[in-house]
Amino acid sequence: MGTARWLALGSLFALAGLLEGRLVGEEEAGFGECDKFFYAGTPPAGLAADSHVKICQRAEGAERFATLYSTRDRIPVYSAFRAPRPAPGGAEQRWLVEPQIDDPNSNLEEAINEAEAITSVNSLGSKQALNTDYLDSDYQRGQLYPFSLSSDVQVATFTLTNSAPMTQSFQERWYVNLHSLMDRALTPQCGSGEDLYILTGTVPSDYRVKDKVAAPEFVWLAACCAVPGGGWAMGFVKHTRDSDIIEDVMVKDLQKLLPFNPQLFQNNCGETEQDTEKMKKILEVVNQIQDEERMVQSQKNSSPLSSTRSKRSTLLPPEASEGSSSFLGKLMAFIATPFIKLFQLIYYLVVAILKNIVYLLWCVTKQVINGIESCLYRLGSATISYFMAIGEELVSIPWKVLKVVAKVIRALLRILCCLLKAICRVLSIPVRVLVDVATFPVYTMGAIPIVCKDIALGLGGTVSLLFDTAFGTLGGLFQVVFSVCKRIGYKVTFDNSGEL
């Protein structure tokens, strides 16, 4: 089963976290405990994309294989596993989904049945394929790591993250090719198989099943044998066209055919130390497998190939093996199909109704919780704001006191400054002026007699001037009279002083 330990490849710089479900860049981390399925413990480089998710496929608490899954195309980019050890017995066919691809917050650590995931995984099917995507289509769920190659708990390979859309005929030929390559070509040339690393992948086409799941344009396989001194690396490609046979390519050439031109194996699986003799033996066996496939295709329309069909049915999952059953089985299946479809319809309707009811209850609960959270948030915000305002006021009190004290000191300094200015102005008045002001009464009292004397002299002079004027006027009149008398014959005598 798939683990919750899936890792997104999109961001080169992501937050570090727990190994379970953390998002990291491709260059920073691999598949955690599933790195052991890769050569030198290093996953393929150069496949970083926002839609790629790393999945460490687990079952019963143990790692089984690794898958790089594309949430955009909803098919695996590749699955990685070690040398297969097929185990006898059938497989329990229960197709599982990976919870944390659609719901990163899910606490489910392993893949679960789709019916169980409907009620426990949010947005189920938003990023991965579901069983319903294959219903009523010409495609089946083809496993990149087939159940028939796994010796572990085989249900681990029945994850939809390990499957891509394949037609029944292509699926049959692909599984036959895988078993032939593993049993006859690859494992025998790699010692005991302990050091054989396998990558099987897909390249999506433009066609999408039900406009969701991308059908592969071709599938590929890359093998790396890390036996010291005798290692090798080989690649294989098989197009989905019915007439195409599997092709052998060098790993470098295979990398050029893939998107992003990745490096599948570190150092190209020890390229400088590869054993060319073993690679030649592998190619010889591959040529035999290709010839056998060509022969089967040429006889396909001319013979029933019952023996080949019997061999293929042992390699296919139960859903593909049913196509090779007896006529009676087909008839019973034809009769039972409408009832099965009706049961499936009723089942999906019931599941959908239950899912909607659960979703409605979840929405109501979410709204109630959101309302409570909103009230608590507002109450907390108001309380915090109140205490912050009080704290601000308390903190501002010392500052305000300091401001008042500063203003008082400033006012006192201004008063002192004005007082000093007044003193300076008073001290700047000349001393002589002060002396004059002080002696003004003395001078005033001493000047009164002099003023009185001057007034008396002025009055005496005035009286004397009046007398002089009067006498001068009279003298002038007498002179006039005298002169007139002299002219008319009277003789007037005057003394030398001119007095009468």
pLDDT at 492 over 80: no
* pLDDT (mean) for 368-380: 89
* pLDDT (mean) for 160-170: 92
- Backbone phi and psi for residue 70, each to the nearest 5 degrees, phi listed first: -100, 115
* pLDDT (mean) for 63-87: 87
Q: Which pLDDT band, with edges at 50, 70 and 90, does 165 fall under?
A: very high
User: Could you report the per-residue pLDDT of 37-56, keeping only the tens digit for each?
Assistant: 999 999 999 988 889 999 99
Higher confidence at residue 333 or residue 51?
51
Provide the pLDDT for residue 90. 53
Q: Which pLDDT band, with edges at 50, 70 and 90, does 92 fall under?
A: low
**What average pLDDT does the structure give for the chain?**
80
Q: Which two tokens stand for residue 343?
A: 């049961």
190 Cβ neighbours under 8 A, 6+ residues apart? 83, 196, 225, 227, 232
User: Could you report the per-residue pLDDT of 207-247, keeping only the tens digit for each?
Assistant: 999 999 999 999 999 999 999 888 999 999 999 876 678 99
Domain boundaries, the chain: 22-274
- Is 319:140 a contact under the CB 8 Å cutoff? yes
pLDDT at 34 over 80: yes
Q: Cα(93)–Cα(179) distance, rounded to whole angstroms?
A: 20
Q: Cα(313)–Cα(171) distance, rounded to whole angstroms?
A: 11
Residue 316: Cβ within 10 Å count: 24
Closest CA to 199 of 278, 281, 83: 83
Higher confidence at residue 215 or residue 64?
215
Closest CA to 202 of 84, 52, 309, 31: 52
Q: Which pLDDT band, with edges at 50, 70 and 90, does 62 fall under?
A: confident
Q: Cα(251)–Cα(261) distance, rounded to whole angstroms?
A: 11
pLDDT at 294 over 80: yes
Provide the pLDDT for residue 136. 87
Higher confidence at residue 84 or residue 24?
84
Q: Which pLDDT band, with edges at 50, 70 and 90, does 21 fall under?
A: very low
For 79-103, the DSSP string reads: EEEES----SS------EE-HHHH-
Q: Cα(230)–Cα(273) distance, rounded to whole angstroms?
A: 7
Q: What is the CATH number of domain 22-274?
A: 3.40.570.10
pLDDT at 7 over 80: no
Provide the pLDDT for residue 432. 67
Q: What percent of the chain has pLDDT over 70?
A: 80
User: Could you report the per-residue pLDDT of 434-453, keeping only the tens digit for each?
Assistant: 677 777 777 777 778 888 88
Residue found under tokens 């069983």? 131
Provide the pLDDT for residue 204. 95
Cα 467 to chain centroid, rounded: 131
Q: What percent of the chain has pLDDT over 90?
A: 30
pLDDT at 314 over 60: no
pLDDT at 423 over 90: no
Q: Which of 73-82, 86-95, 411-420 has the lowest mean pLDDT?
A: 86-95
Q: Count Cβ neighbours within 10 Å for each residue of 405-443 and write b for 16 or more, e otherwise.
A: eeeeeeeeeeeeeeeeeeeeeeeeeeeeeeeeeeeeeee
Q: Which pLDDT band, with edges at 50, 70 and 90, does 10 fall under?
A: very low
Q: Cα(312)–Cα(395) distance, rounded to whole angstroms?
A: 85
Q: How far apart are the first and last CA of the chain?
A: 177
| DSSP H or E run through 55 | strand 52-59
